[in-house]
Amino acid sequence: MATAYHNLSEYNPDEIPDISGMRFGIVVSEWNIEITEKLKEGACNTLLKHGAQPENITVIYVPGSFELIYGAKLLAKTVQPHAVIGLGCVIRGETPHFDYVCSGVTQGFALLNAQGDIPFIFGLLTNDTMKQSIDRAGGIYGNKGNEAAITAIKMIQLDCRFK
């Protein structure tokens, strides 16, 4: 289990730069909202903790995880943030729908990163059970929304090094 080896929810806050002037977009799936809302809270709290201004964090909701791609593209175009974070949760069911959604969202975010000029952070939980999702949305494995926010900050920092 990769999470057991590296948990970004446990990071050194002294290594994170001040982000008071940065703008962030967060797109959240309404599907499995009890999980995605906790991911969003983790991401927002982490951004605020490191200096983001509340007015510089734009949050939008989309119906499901597949729609995260379009929502992320729309946020990038209209809000012009320094990074976009996509947060969703897909739990395996009895049909191949899980595989199609997970694959599509993964490919969509990869394409956004390849073609875009800002980082698009992939914060999609792809678990077998609701318990696994709860464990990753503020449970025993931390909050993956928090990790997505830290990833966004680090990617903006990387981007700034090359400009």
* Residue 154 · residue 147 · CB < 8 Å: no
Catalytic-residue membership of 97 = yes
- 6, 50, 82, 97: which is the annotated catalytic residue? 97
Compare 123 and 160 and report the one with higher pLDDT. Answer: 123
Q: What is the pTM of this model?
A: 0.92
pLDDT tens per residue, range 44-55: 999 999 999 999
Q: Could you tell me which CATH number the domain at 43-88+100-129+139-163 has?
A: 3.40.50.960
Over the stretch 110-142, which tens digit does the pLDDT of each residue have?
999 999 999 999 999 999 999 999 999 999 999
> What's CA 18's distance to the chain center, in Å?
19
